[in-house]
């Protein structure tokens, strides 16, 4: 975890401890519904701590995927796409998936009206 996540987790832990202590004090003097309310509220920061650790793990995994993608084979896909774009002869050919050419395209083959 980074510093801000550790600080946030420490605050969550302090909040959870404070709410649990309030539940204990409520058990001595207050009605049972208040005890249940404070006990349930003391679990919410614990869930937040688990969430912070999951987010940290996801960020770490995403960084690892990024490091793998930036490896030696990353430029191969770019080279393939660049070569395909360089072989495209005109805009209409590219947008029509190779079925039609612009009127000024040198690769244009006139269509015959003969069947």
Helix axes 3-29, 32-69, angle to 10 degrees: 170
Question: Which pLDDT value is given to residue 80?
Answer: 80
CA distance 93 to 99: 6
Please report which helix (H) or strand (E) contains residue 22, including its range: helix 3-29
Question: Which pLDDT value is given to residue 43?
Answer: 92
- Consecutive sets of 10 residues in the chain, 115 residues long: mean pLDDT of each? 84 92 90 91 91 89 80 71 74 71 69 58
- Annotate 47-60 with three-state secondary structure: HHHHHHHHHHHHHH
CA distance 71 to 79: 14
Question: Which pLDDT value is given to residue 110?
Answer: 62
Centroid of chain to Cα 115? 55
Question: Which pLDDT value is given to residue 11?
Answer: 92
């Amino acid at each position: 975890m980074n510093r801000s996540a550790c600080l946030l987790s420490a605050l969550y832990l302090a909040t959870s401890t404070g709410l649990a202590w309030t539940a204990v004090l409520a058990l001595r003097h207050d009605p049972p519904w208040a005890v249940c309310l404070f006990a349930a509220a003391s679990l919410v920061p614990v869930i937040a701590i688990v969430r912070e650790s999951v987010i940290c793990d996801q960020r770490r995994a995403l960084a690892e995927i990024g490091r793998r993608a930036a490896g030696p084979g990353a430029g191969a896909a770019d080279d393939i796409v660049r070569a395909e774009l360089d072989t495209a002869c005109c805009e209409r050919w590219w947008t029509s998936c190779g079925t039609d050419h612009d009127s000024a395209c040198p690769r244009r083959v006139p269509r015959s009206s003969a069947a």
